[in-house]
Amino acid sequence: MIATAPPRVAPITVRGVGKVYPARRGSFVALHDVSFSVAPGEFCAIIGPSGCGKTTLLHILAGLFPASTGTVEIPPQEPGRLVTALIFQGISTLPWLTVLQNTEYGLRHMRVSPAERRTRAVEQLRRVGLDRFVDAFPHQLSEGMRQRVSIARALATDPDVLLMDEPFANLDEQNRLLLQDELLRLWQENRQTVLFVTHSLDEAIRLSDRVLVMTSAPGRIKAEVPVRLARPREFRSVRQDPEYGALSAKLWEALRDEVLRARQT
Ligand SMILES: Nc1ncnc2c1ncn2[C@@H]1O[C@H](COP(=O)(O)OP(=O)(O)O)[C@@H](O)[C@H]1O
Ligand SMILES: [Mg+2]
């Protein structure tokens, strides 16, 4: 049984956020009037059709660029600590750095001393089962292992908020299930506030406390579906829960029209 930590005091609030990108002819509205909040320690999933602005939203929350309109409230970064960590869509390990150096990357930017950096990075690699691979380079690892390096790098700075952009999208089903288990274990040990983008209804239901469904572009929050399944969520028990089928149907009902609309643009 995993000890469940108290939630971190790190809410996220998004109010009326819009994002307009310059386009070849004029401009393109990627997000329009997006509002929601995530409670401290909550695991919130976002689903929406491809191109609806999910990555844009996470990048605004991570502070990579500002929203065109509206406001976001998210805990600010602190010296020596990345309070909000972003796991990018796709493979985000740096191929010229070893597994250890990849994991130390955020800490290096936070000017943590080399000795402490190493200790903290090795500890995180141990938690994701990669401490034997400290000196390996990303190309020597499987895709699932590389994704675990990205998770270790994000966790090494001890963030209160984890922004995850389709982190398991490129994995096969078995590895995806294993990494979901690992993520849930790490989350229960630390209770970060998590915003998790996925295109998998199944993954959203298995992991989250609540699922936000976005419309096709310009992205808005169309529906909000609480997931009240008991934790820990064993793979088999989740799928056998009658509530699972109802949730899945509800999410697909909200999403289907948006996916069809996104295909026509
Ligand atoms: N830097 C950019 N400049 C112009 N358009 C962009 C830029 N980034 C994303 N877009 C457009 O904004 C829309 C939303 O993109 P994105 O946030 O990546 O969506 P998602 O992650 O939901 O697939 C897409 O149509 C994409 O082409
Ligand atoms: Mg994306």
Query: Considering its fold, how many domains does the chain have in total?
Result: 1
With beta carbons less than 8 A apart as the criterion, state whether 43 and 208 touch: yes
pLDDT-based confidence at residue 199 (cuts at 50, 70, 90): very high
Ligand in nearest proximity to the CA of 31? 1
In whole angstroms, what is the distance from residue 46 CA to residue 197 CA? Answer: 5
> 187: closest CA among 236, 154, 214, 225?
154
Tell whether ligand 1 has an atom less than 6 A from the beta carbon of residue 55: yes
Ligand in nearest proximity to the CA of 47? 1
CA 199 to ligand 2 centroid distance, Å: 9
In whole angstroms, what is the distance from residue 261 CA to residue 156 CA? Answer: 40
pLDDT at 3: 64
Residue 212 lies in a domain: no
Residue 149 lies in a domain: yes
Which of 19, 20, 27, 28 for mutating ligand 1's site (highest number of atoms within 8 Å of CB)? 28
CA 184 to ligand 1 centroid distance, Å: 29
CA 143 to ligand 1 centroid distance, Å: 24
Residue 101 lies in a domain: yes
CA 165 to ligand 2 centroid distance, Å: 7
pLDDT, tens only, 147-192: 999 999 999 988 999 999 999 988 888 888 988 998 999 899 999 9
Tell whether ligand 1 has an atom less than 6 A from the beta carbon of residue 87: no
**Alpha carbons within 13 A on the beta-carbon side of 153:** 28
Omega of the bond leading into 40 within 30 degrees of 0 (cis): no
Tell whether ligand 1 has an atom less than 6 A from the beta carbon of residue 54: yes
Residue 96 lies in a domain: yes
Q: Who surrounds ion ligand 2 at CB < 5 A? A: 54-55, 89
Residue 102 lies in a domain: yes
The alpha carbon dihedral of 69, 73, 79, 84 has a sign of negative
Residue 165 lies in a domain: no
pLDDT-based confidence at residue 128 (cuts at 50, 70, 90): confident
Would the pTM of this model clear 0.85, i.e. be above it? yes
CA 105 and chain centroid, separation: 18
Residue 91 lies in a domain: yes
Residue 243 lies in a domain: no
Q: What is the domain range of residue 91?
A: 79-159
**From start to end of 120-256, where are the E strands?**
161-165, 193-197, 210-214, 221-226
pLDDT-based confidence at residue 234 (cuts at 50, 70, 90): confident
